[in-house]
A and B are shown apart, each in its own frame.
Chain A
Amino acid sequence: MPKRDLISIEDLSREQVELLLDTAESFLPVLERDIKKVPTLRGRTIVNLFWEASTRTSSSFDLAAKRLSADTIALKASGSAVEKGETLKDTAITLSAYGPDIIVMRHPSAGACQVLSRNTEASVINAGDGKHQHPTQCLLDLFALRQTFGRDLDGMKVSIVGDILHSRVARSDIMGFKLLGMDVTLVGPPTLIPRGIEEMGVKIEYDLANLGDADVIYLLRIQKERIKEGANFLPSLREYNRLYGMSRARLRPGQRVMHPGPINRGVEIGPDIADDDENLIALQVFSGLAVRMAILYRTIVGYTDAGSEEVL
């Protein structure tokens, strides 16, 4: 019996993405009431396996599982058997002995989720694997966009600015934005834009002055941990800020700014934008909870209703 994994945005059809976003919306009233919990996944076990630092992804997956009444186990690489040299395959086999329904994993290597999936009965949800994919980030970004601009994102223009090369968020977002009919432009220094990425159906600009009439400017974090000193991607962070750092003066009225976090103040984003109420960054974080509840729910229940009301 095939199980439901969510490893790449490519795993989903447009209809499934829209169903996930609709499902997330239906969780919003639950998050507003006094008892912010539904019994849907009572008795289910969800393992959060984070082999790389994370604040919002791991905490929102944990809270999402708890809001659905599932039991959760959180494991980090530090302090676990990984430090003693256990391989991913062996960790997968060990954890599977507890019979989890879902394993949520973040890992520094692209493709790690496929390895995990081959070695467990549990459904695997990718919470970021190396430079490959971060599908749940893309879904929450789409949700934040729908909350701001309405359900129909068709024809909307978004510019993704910064380090495309090292960004799994960019790769997932390009796919998800295109899937819902959005117009995507990549902006950044040539060293940080991968060759051949035009094949994904995006436009490329090297100059921030050419943002034009984009509705949304999506800033990517300059990943200091992946851009090693002296690797010649950037002369300096100060120069990056001068050429590509976003400030209010560089925006047209009405253009909204998104960022997956954590932000580097004074590098890709100026304090005037980071601190104003116009940016969608806080909405993105909030969206993460409802969207991850929807992903966990649909992973267990399926992308269609199993029983009709007659059955109940």
Chain B
Amino acid sequence: MTAAQMSRTVMRIAHEILEKNPGAERLAVVGIHTRGAYLGARVHRLLCELGGHEYPSGNLDISFYRDDVAARGAVGIIPRTPQPVVKDTDLPFDVEGTTVVLVDDVLYTGRTIRAAIEALFDYGRPARVQLAVLVDRGHRELPIRPDYVGKNLPTAPRERINVRLEECDDVDEVGLVQAGEGE
């Protein structure tokens, strides 16, 4: 997927969100860290332009809600250069009664989304939760289905979807990489 295709895809998703939620004022866009947050900000910007309304938006970090918190000793020796991975969750609006559109880059097993829904509910009870993803690569392990899909990209489990965004990677593109190949 090229930069131009990505920009058209995000625009289409924004249109679809407005179409599916006619007249909704309590509509919030929440991106899932890291790349989902950048995509969420893009969707939110377009939504405000198209809808002529300043919708609320926010970010969600799901680190504390993961279902694969390492077993004791599983990580082994402490690495020399640790990576700070936990980002701030920022939901500057009342989740209670709001329609929340979660945004992420790649939908795969569905576990991230499960964690995001659980995290979201600790901030309040949303009226409904919808899901927008740039790429759906299949291989779901949970009963989770996106409401808005940029592109369906059937993959083998050993393949990787590499989403790169200008905000953090200096370029907009989606690539398919075989495991063990380059970056």
Contact of A15 among B64, B66, B82, B122 (CB under 8 A): B82
Q: Contact between B70 and A301 (Cβ–Cβ < 8 Å)? A: yes
In angstroms, Cα B64 to Cα A30, docked, is: 10
Which residue of B has the minimal Cβ distance to A12? B78
B87 interface hit (Cβ, 8 Å): yes
Most buried by B among A35, A122, A305: A305
A-B contact count (CB 8 A): 101
B20 interface hit (Cβ, 8 Å): no
Note all chain A residues with C-beta closer than 8 A to B86. Answer: 22-23, 26
Note all chain A residues with C-beta closer than 8 A to B123. Answer: 33-35
| Number of A interface residues in the complex (CB < 8 A) | 40
Q: Contact between B160 and A310 (Cβ–Cβ < 8 Å)? A: yes
A97 interface hit (Cβ, 8 Å): no
Q: Contact between B69 and A41 (Cβ–Cβ < 8 Å)? A: yes
Interface bits A277-312 vs B (CB < 8 Å: 1, else 0): 000000000000000000001001111111101111
Note all chain B residues with C-beta closer than 8 A to A312. Answer: 66, 68, 108-109, 111-112, 115
Nearest CB on A from B122, distance (A): 4
Note all chain A residues with C-beta closer than 8 A to B72. Answer: 3, 101, 121-123, 300
| Number of B interface residues in the complex (CB < 8 A) | 42
Within 8 A of A (CB), among B21-39: 34-35
Contact of B69 among A18, A23, A301 (CB under 8 A): A301
Q: Contact between A3 and B73 (Cβ–Cβ < 8 Å)? A: yes
A56 interface hit (Cβ, 8 Å): no
Note all chain B residues with C-beta closer than 8 A to A157. Answer: none
Can you report 27 residue pairs joining A to B where beta carbons are below 8 Å apart? A2-B73, A3-B72, A15-B81, A15-B82, A16-B82, A19-B84, A22-B84, A26-B63, A26-B87, A26-B88, A33-B123, A35-B123, A40-B63, A297-B64, A301-B70, A302-B78, A306-B74, A306-B75, A307-B68, A310-B106, A310-B160, A310-B161, A312-B66, A312-B108, A312-B109, A312-B112, A312-B115
Add 7 more A-B contacts to A68-B64, A101-B72 (CB < 8 A).
Answer: A2-B73, A15-B80, A19-B84, A22-B86, A23-B84, A29-B89, A35-B123
